[in-house]
Structures are given as structure tokens and as C-alpha cells.
């Protein structure tokens, strides 16, 4: 039965979804009623949503602000009375009185029973009380029916659990706010706390890859904490740090994100110690301990993979020896060391730490080419004619003893300051290798000349920068020696049809625009690098464009790259006349596993370098920095001269690539990867 629309000025209760509201009728038109509610709010609702008329008459509010406010005050006064009556309504007792006779009860009858009156105001109060309880009665049109005892018990238990969850949630959110306010945090290890902390941890570590559920929970905690931050993942980390979840402000979260292995398992360490004590079999090894072999590395290097020697021959010829450490002499395929090394894939070198592929007892001691110690090696012996062309080559399992260890800087000093007279063999070696490099470049290889900056972190957290000049003769010569060894390794495997992992690189889609030999500036370096195609690996030989080689194998770092260790095993087995330990299928698996590890390592190392370079800027607090413009599209990009950091500067205008400029450092936040520069 339809109810007549209330008259203007009547104060009514009406249904807003499942909520009961009060309002004064301003007008009724076309079956819709305009109502003025608390706070002067206006609503237009169908007349059918009017539940009851609380006060049938009164002054109808006009269009003026004052009249609407007067109506609102009338509603608010009535609402206070209705709420007070609702609070006095004992719904539990009302349910006990009616549950034994389950039926639909009229609102007025229940109001009479609970409040002593079935008047309109008491009916509205009863409805509010029943809605607030939400458990014991269910609405049936305009009537109410008591739920049975089993339903009520279940709903009460559900309500209790909901209230407990809300209370636990509030405790956690109040706790994080207290931690940010400096009042400390006492963990409870509750399920709710673990859920919030887990969500914060996921956001801090995974950033944009965090699940939506975790992100929502973490943001809720961050909002409740009152912590300020630039980016959500940074805020999550900072909050967790305050809560005692991380030990350092400089925690490397990428190591956690990618599951990079840290400490070695005790069983692996013990196996490595035992293996290091065993003298490797010398049967069939070529005795090369009498050669004048030196190693050339960074002063920080402890895993010494390679040594170089030079033997003058008749007619201006010479034999270069590239002697590579042979950890395979201590590690058997499938043993605990091998399994651990494959799981790691390679060593990680970060500004504040090193995570080796092999335990130090092998990688830094027994197998490392430590000066003055005899070590097993795989030697690539290459005879060069007077023009520096390959006249012959040999690969041998060998025994070597390195005479001395030089740093790149020491060798550069020798070459620059005329000390070559005291080291004629080394000087000649560098000369031959640089001639080889020039020959490759003349044949189409691409050598990008660019300085490198390496951040290093002291024990006190201070960041220092090491700059490596792109034109360093020592680094170029050592790099060329490694390329030469990889060239010979590829020839060896191709000629013997030995399964191997080759490195390949296709030519760029368009011809490169290379600068003159001395014209490499940061803009041209960036442009050429971005024009080059990404390298790839495979079991078939193929062109390596940048190196200018028809086939190339990476084989010079078996202490720190598992792919190189696998290649060594293939080569040494062939030299012994034994079948290769890895068939093509096994090598394919190794290639896939280690290539993924290398991709992850590149991401981690790039991110770590950038973080610590930003920390350097933060520590130095420079007001201004020198930079060079390296790109304009889609947005201007500069390279900072001291740190070699690349950074977008959107506000930069009227500049050209290669132009030197000075910029102001406005803000640095390494954890959020924020660097704000202004002209």
C-alpha cells in the first residue's frame, strides 16, 4: 500500500540505503521529496523511501540560507532525542522477549515493548537501535523479525572477531605512529602485526612489483604513522628501519629482492677448506713456472684470475702468455662447491661489499694466482709476428708462478714516466697488446673511450670515488689480452667441435656515427652505446660486432663467473683427451641459469652504484656541480662530471648535446633515488 507523501515542513525519517536519516520536507514534486538534513545537507529522494513521519507539521524551509539552517537545527535537535532514546533501548532483552515467538513484528509494537511508546519518535529510535545492533533482528519490509538463537550466536562470534581484528589493527597502527613520534615500538608478534610488517617489507623490497593487497596495507600503515617520504617504497623502508626491521640505513634491498646468496653454508666452507689442502694433480701440465709472469689488477682485487707473460722470439716475433686460474683443479662437477657456485652464477662486486661465487679458501687462496706461489692454470700461448698478427697458438694445462703483482696505476706510471727501461718485458707486452687493439679497431671493432667512476665505501660509511681513465694503457692492454684469450678459446672449441657457450653481438640497425679517435665526449659515448645491440649467448659461434671477431668465448674469469668455469672444464677435458663433462643440453641449462644471474647482477650493481653516488653527493653537499648535456629527447639529460651520474633535468632549456653547464643541487634522497638539479 502506497504511503501519501508528507507535507512540506514535516520532519521525517527516510532510508538512505540501509541507513536511517532525518530531514525536514522542503517540497514534493513528481513523486520525489526534497529534504533538508543535518548540517543543511539537501537530498532529493523518492517518496517511497520515507520510512515514517516523526513530526507531521512545521515550517517548510524556503530557499534562503537562513531558512535552511533553521530546518537543519530542528533536525539536529530531533536527532539528538532519537539517538538518546535509541541508546536506552535494550535490544538484547527485546530479542529474548520475542525470539520464542518468531514472527514479523511491527515497528510500533516493538517500540511499545522496548521503549514504552509506539509514537513516531520512539519508532525511529527503535529502528536506529536495531540497525546499530545489526545482529538480533532482520528487517522484513516495514516489520522486524528476530533471528533464531543459532544465527545470533554465529553473528555475535563474527562480530567479536571483527572487533578483535579492528582492535589489533588499531594497536599496530598506533604503534607505528608512536615509533615515528620517537616513543619507541614494542613488537607483539601478533598475526595482524606480522601482516602489516610483511606488507611494508614487500613494498620496500619489491617497489612497483608489490602486490596491490600488500601495497594497500603498507600505505595504510604509512598514512597512520605520519612519516613523510618521497616515494612509497622509500617510506616503507624508513618505517621498517624505525621499527627495528633493518640494521642499516644503507641496506641493499636488491639483494633481498633477487635472493642473492650471502654467507656460504658451513658444509660448503668445510668442503672448500678440504679441497684447498689437496695439491692438484700435476700430470700432463706444462711447466711454465719459469716464465716472467705478472698479474695486473686493482689493488682491491683478491680473486686473481689472470697473469700475463711475454717471451721474445727470433725475427721480432714474441709469444704472449695469458695464464688463467684453474679452479677446476679443486672443484669436481656436481660436488658441493660446484652446486653452490652454479646457484650463485657469479661474484657480485658492490661499493660496500663483495659476494664471491667461491669461498675465499679457493677463490682468494688456493686457486688465485698469488704472486710467488705455484698455481695450476690454463694458459693461452699466442705467437705474434712483427706486425702483431697471430702466427700460431696453443692452449695448455699449466703450472705457473707469478713473479709480481702490479696495479693498473703502477703500470700506467711505468709507461708514462719512462720506467719502462726497468720493465722492458712489460713495456713490450703493453705495446704489443695495444697494437693488437688498434688492429681490431681498424678492422671494424668499436672501442668506446670513456672514463669510469667507482664508488667505494669505507668502514665509517664515507664514500670515496675512484676514477679510471678511459685511455689508461694498462687497462686497455689487459682488456686486449682477455679478448685475445677469448679469441683463442673460441678457435679451440670450433676446431675441436667442442660444445661451448659463445658470446655474440649483431651489428646495429644503422651505421654507427663514431667520433674521431680523440673526440669521445659524454654525449657521443651515450649515443653510440644506445645504438649498439645487446649481446647474446648461444652454443653456436657467431659474429661479435663490438669486438670485431667472428667468434668469441668468455673464458678468463673462472674464479668469479660460472660460465667461464664451465668452459675451462670443456677445454681441460679435451686437453686430457677426456670427453667433455658438459654436453650441449647441460651447457644450455648452464647458459640459461648463469645468464639470468648476470642480468640480475647488472641490475643490482647499477642500482648500488647509483645509490652510493647519490650518497656521495649527499655527504659532500655541493651547492653546484659541473655537468655536460648528453641528450635532449624526450627530456634533457645531463651527466655530472665528477660522479658520471646521468640525470634528467626537465627545466633545462636552450642547450645542445655536448654543452658544459653548471647546475645547482637542490635535493638528494638516495633511498628514494631522488636527485633534483636546477640550472
Question: Taking the mean position of all CA atoms in its chain, how far away is CA 129?
Answer: 52
Q: Are 318 and 311 in contact (CB under 8 A)?
A: yes
DSSP conformation letters of 359-424: -HIIIIIISS--TTSEEEEEEEEEEE-TTS-EEEEEEEEEEEEEEEEEEHHHHHHHHHTTGGGG-H
Distance CA 203, CA 223 (A): 14
Q: In the numeric block, which cell numbers belong to residue 329?
A: 683443479
What number of other Cβ atoms are within 10 A of residue 259's Cβ? 8
- Grid cell at residue 32: 520525489
* Closest alpha carbon to 246 in 258, 238, 257, 254: 238
Give yes or no for a contact between 475 and 370, defined as CB atoms under 8 angstroms apart.
no
Asked if 399 and 286 count as a contact pair (C-beta separation under 8 A), the reply is yes
Contact 53, 11 (CB under 8 A): yes
Residue 563 has a pLDDT of 97
Note whether 564 and 345 are within 8 A (CB). Answer: no
Instruction: Chunk the chain into consecutive blocks of 10 residues (it has 679) and report each block's average pLDDT, rounded to whole numbers.
Output: 79 93 94 94 94 92 92 96 96 94 93 95 96 95 94 95 93 95 91 96 97 97 96 98 94 96 95 90 86 93 96 92 96 95 97 96 97 96 91 96 93 74 78 93 93 94 94 94 98 97 95 85 93 95 96 97 97 96 96 96 97 96 94 94 96 92 96 95
In this prediction, residue 419 carries a pLDDT of 56
CA distance 430 to 158: 80
DSSP, collapsed to helix, strand or coil, labels residue 307 as strand
387: phi > 0 → left, psi -120 to 50 → alpha, else beta; which?
A: alpha
CB 593 within 8 A of CB 345: yes
Exposure of 241 by Cβ count < 10 A (0-12 exposed, 13-18 middle, 19+ buried)?
middle
Residue 28 pairs with which residues in a beta bridge? 33
Output the nine-digit C-alpha cell for 501.
Answer: 657457450
| Pairing, β 293-297 against β 390-407 | parallel
CB-CB contact of 443 with 482 (8 Å): no
Q: The sheet that has 143-146: what strands, in order across it?
A: 105-106, 143-146, 137-140
d(CA 103, CA 146): 7
What pLDDT does residue 1 have?
A: 47
Q: Residue 31 — left, alpha, or beta (φ > 0 → left; ψ -120 to 50 → alpha)?
A: left
pLDDT at res. 402: 96
The whole model's pTM is what? 0.84
Q: CA-CA distances (angstroms) from residue 567 to 128, 537, 564?
A: 80, 13, 5
DSSP structure string for 333-358: TTSHHHHHHHHH-B-EEETTEEE-SS
Give strand pairing partners of 502.
538
* Measured distance CA(643)–CA(86) in Å, rounded: 70
Amino acid at each position: 500500500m502506497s504511503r501519501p507523501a508528507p507535507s512540506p515542513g514535516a520532519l521525517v525519517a527516510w532510508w538512505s540505503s540501509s541507513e536511517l536519516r532525518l530531514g525536514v520536507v522542503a517540497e514534493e514534486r513528481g513523486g520525489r521529496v526534497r529534504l533538508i538534513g543535518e548540517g543543511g545537507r539537501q537530498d532529493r529522494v523518492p517518496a517511497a523511501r520515507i520510512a515514517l513521519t516523526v513530526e507531521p507539521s512545521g515550517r517548510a524551509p524556503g530557499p534562503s540560507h537562513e531558512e535552511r539552517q533553521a530546518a537543519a537545527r530542528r533536525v539536529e535537535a530531533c536527532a539528538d532525542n532519537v539517538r538518546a532514546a535509541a541508546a536506552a533501548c535494550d535490544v538484547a532483552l527485546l530479542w529474548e522477549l520475542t525470539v520464542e515467538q518468531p514472527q514479523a513484528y511491527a515497528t510500533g509494537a516493538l517500540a511499545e515493548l522496548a521503549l514504552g511508546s509506539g509514537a513516531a519518535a520512539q519508532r525511529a529510535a527503535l529502528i536506529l537501535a536495531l540497525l546499530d545492533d545489526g545482529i538480533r533482528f532482520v528487517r522484513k519490509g516495514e516489520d522486524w523479525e528476530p533471528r533464531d538463537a543459532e544465527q545470533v550466536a554465529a553473528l555475535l562470534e563474527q562480530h567479536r572477531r571483527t572487533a578483535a581484528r579492528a582492535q589489533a589493527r588499531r594497536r599496530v597502527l598506533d604503534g607505528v605512529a608512536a615509533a615515528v613520534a620517537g616513543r619507541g615500538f614494542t613488537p607483539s608478534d601478533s598475526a595482524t602485526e606480522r601482516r602489516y610488517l610483511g606488507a611494508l617489507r614487500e613494498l620496500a623490497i619489491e617497489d612497483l612489483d608489490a602486490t596491490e593487497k600488500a601495497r594497500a596495507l603498507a600505505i595504510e600503515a604509512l598514512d597512520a604513522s605520519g612519516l613523510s617520504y618521497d616515494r612509497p617504497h622509500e617510506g616503507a623502508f624508513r618505517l621498517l628501519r624505525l621499527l627495528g626491521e633493518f640494521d642499516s640505513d644503507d641496506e641493499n634491498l636488491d639483494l633481498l629482492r633477487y635472493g642473492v646468496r650471502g654467507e656460504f653454508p658451513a658444509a660448503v666452507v668445510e668442503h672448500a677448506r678440504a679441497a684447498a689442502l689437496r695439491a692438484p694433480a700435476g700430470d700432463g701440465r706444462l711447466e711454465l713456472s719459469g716464465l716472467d709472469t705478472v698479474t695486473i689488477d686493482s689493488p682491491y682485487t683478491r680473486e686473481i684470475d689472470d697473469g700475463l707473460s711475454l717471451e721474445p722470439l727470433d725475427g721480432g716475433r714474441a709469444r704472449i702468455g695469458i695464464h688463467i686460474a684453474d679452479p677446476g683443479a679443486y672443484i669436481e662437477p656436481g660436488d658441493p662447491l660446484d652446486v653452490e657456485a652454479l646457484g650463485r652464477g657469479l661474484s657480485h662486486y658492490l661499493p660496500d661489499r663483495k659476494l664471491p661465487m667461491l669461498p675465499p679458501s679457493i677463490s682468494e687462496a688456493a686457486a688465485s694466482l698469488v704472486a710467488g706461489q705455484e698455481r695450476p692454470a690454463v694458459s693461452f700461448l699466442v705467437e705474434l709476428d712483427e706486425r702483431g698478427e697471430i702466427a700460431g697458438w696453443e692452449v695448455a694445462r699449466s703450472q705457473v708462478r707469478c713473479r709480481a703483482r702490479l696495479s693498473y696505476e703502477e703500470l700506467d706510471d711505468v709507461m708514462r714516466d719512462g720506467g719502462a727501461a726497468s720493465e722492458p718485458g712489460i713495456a713490450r707486452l703493453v705495446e704489443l697488446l695495444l697494437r693488437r687493439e688498434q688492429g681490431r679497431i681498424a678492422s671494424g671493432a668499436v672501442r668506446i673511450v670513456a672514463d669510469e667512476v667507482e664508488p667505494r665505501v669505507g668502514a665509517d660509511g664515507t664514500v670515496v670515488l675512484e676514477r679510471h681513465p678511459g685511455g689508461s694503457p694498462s687497462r686497455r692492454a689487459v682488456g686486449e689480452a682477455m679478448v685475445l684469450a677469448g679469441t683463442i678459446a673460441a678457435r679451440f672449441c670450433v676446431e675441436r667441435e667442442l660444445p661451448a657457450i659463445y658470446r655474440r653481438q649483431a651489428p646495429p640497425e644503422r651505421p654507427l656515427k663514431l667520433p674521431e679517435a680523440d673526440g669521445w665526449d659524454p654525449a657521443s659515448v651515450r649515443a653510440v652505446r644506445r645504438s649498439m645491440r645487446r649481446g647474446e649467448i648461444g652454443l653456436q659461434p657467431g659474429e661479435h660486432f663490438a669486438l670485431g671477431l667472428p667468434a668469441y668465448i668468455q673464458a678468463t674469469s673462472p674464479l668469479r663467473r660460472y660460465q667461464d668455469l664451465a668452459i675451462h672444464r670443456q677445454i681441460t677435458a679435451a686437453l686430457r683427451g677426456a670427453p667433455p663433462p658438459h654436453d650441449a643440453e647441460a651447457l644450455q641449462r648452464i647458459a640459461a641459469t648463469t645468464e639470468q644471474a648476470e642480468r640480475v647482477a647488472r641490475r643490482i650493481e647499477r642500482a648500488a652504484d647509483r645509490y652510493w653516488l647519490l650518497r656521495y653527493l649527499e655527504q659532500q653537499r655541493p651547492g653546484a656541480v659541473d655537468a655536460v648535456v648528453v641528450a635532449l629527447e624526450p627530456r634533457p639529460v645531463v651527466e655530472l662530471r665528477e660522479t658520471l651520474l646521468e640525470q634528467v633535468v626537465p627545466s633545462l632549456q636552450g642547450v645542445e648535446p655536448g654543452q658544459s653547464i653548471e647546475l645547482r643541487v637542490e635535493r638528494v634522497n638516495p633511498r628514494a633515488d631522488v636527485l633534483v638539479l636546477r640550472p
